[in-house]
Amino acid sequence: MSSITSRPSDNAILPQTAPEQRWQQAWRETDTRLRSTTRAAAATAPVVSRSARVNKLDADLLDTELSDMLREPVTKALSLLKPGLIDTYRLEVDTLIRALLFWLSVGSHRRATYGQALQNLTYKTSNNGRLGWRIHLFGIVSIGGGYLWTQITKRMSYDGWADAPRKSLRNRLWRLASWMERMSRLAALANLLAFFSAGQYKSVVERLLGLRLVNARPQLSHSVSFEFLNRQLVWHAFTEFVMFALPLVNPARARAWVVRSTRSLLRLPQISIDPKVAELPGNVCAICYTNADKQTDTQVDLESCVCANPYITECGHRFCYVCVKTQMMAEGDEFVCLRCGCRVTSICAYSET
C-alpha cells in the first residue's frame, strides 16, 4: 500500500492572531487617520457663507417700493379729508409707514424686512452677542433719528439761523449742524466703499451696532429667481424708455395718422363726414359745432358757433382762428377739413370784400 503524504493545512502556515488584536490594530490605524484629518481641517481657513452685495441693495429697493405702495392710498385718504393736508404732514406719514413696516418685520421674530426676507437675508451680530436690543436701537436711530434730524434742520432753516450774526449761538449751532451733516455724508461714502469691498455693513448704523446681513438659509442663496429679476430689469428699462419718449409723441397727430392710415387701407375716405356738419351755414365754425354737439344731447344753438375772427382754408371753408390753429398745431399735416375732408396745410384771414 502506497504511503500517503499529508500536506500541512493552511492554519499551520498563516500566523494566528486573536480577534481582539485585529480590532485594536484597525482602531489604531483609523484613529491615526482621524487625528491627521482633524489637524488638516483645523489648519484650513473656515469657509464663510456670504450673501451677495446685490441682494442687499435689491432688498432696499423692494422695501422702498413697498413703502411707496402703502403711501399712495394714505395720500388719497388724507387728500379727501382736507386739501393740502398731506403736504403738511408728508414727513410724518412717511416716518409712520417706515416705522410700521420695521416693527412688523424686523421688530418681530423675522429679524429681517420684507425685502430682505425675499432676498433670503437676515440680521446677525458680528460677535454673536444679543440681537434684540441692537435691532430695536437700529430702528430708533435709523428711522426716529432721521426724522428728528430733518425736523431740526428744517426749523433752523425756516428761522434763519444761517443768517444770524456769526458769533451768536444760533449761527454756531447752524455751522455745527452743517459740519455734522458733511461728516455724516463722508462717513456714508466711506462705508459704501467698504461695503463694495467687503460686503458686510451697508450702512454706518449697522457697522456701529455690529449688525450683518447674512443668508437666512445658506443652502438657498437666492429666494427670488434670476428669471424674475431679468424680467423686472427689462420692464424697468422699457418703462424708463417709454417715460422718456412719451413727451416727444404728439397723441393727437398719432391718433389722426392711425385713423387716416386705417381708412386708406380699407379704401375709405380720409374722414367720415357728418351730414349735419356738411350742411352748416358758411359762417358757422364746424369745429365749435362738433365740440358743442359732443357735450350736449339737445339741439346746438348755431348762434353760439358763429366764427370768431374767421379764417378760411384752402378748400374755402371758414373756421374760428383759435379752433383751426389749435387743430393744425395738434394734428399737423394730418388735419383735414370737417366739411369736405380735404387736407388743410395753410389758412388766411377771411374778408367779406
pLDDT (tens digit per residue) in 46-89? 444 455 788 888 888 888 888 888 888 888 888 777 777 788 88
Task: Look up residue 351 and give its amino acid.
Answer: S
Residue 257's pLDDT is 75
Please say if the pLDDT value at position 346 is more than 70. yes
Please say if the pLDDT value at position 190 is more than 90. yes
Query: Tens digits of per-residue pLDDT, 21-32?
Result: 777 788 888 888
Class of residue 87 by CB neighbours under 10 A (exposed 0-12, middle 13-18, buried 19+): exposed
What is the rounded average pLDDT for all residues in the chain? Answer: 80
Angle (CA) 64 68 69, round 5°:
115
Residue 220's pLDDT is 58
Residue 353's pLDDT is 62
Residue 4's pLDDT is 44
Task: Look up residue 244 and give its amino acid.
Answer: F
pTM of the shown model: 0.49
Least confident among 35-39, 84-88, 182-186, 228-232 = 228-232
C-alpha cell at 126: 458680528
- Number of helices followed by number of strands (H, E) in the chain: 15, 5
Please say if the pLDDT value at position 276 is more than 90. no
What is the four-CA torsion angle of 112, 116, 118, 120, rounded to 10 degrees?
-80
- The residue ranking higher by pLDDT, 306 or 49, is 306
Measured CA to CA, the distance from residue 154 to residue 133 in angstroms comes to: 30
Measured CA to CA, the distance from residue 157 to residue 140 in angstroms comes to: 24
Residue 164's pLDDT is 85
Query: Span 278-305, mean pLDDT?
Result: 84
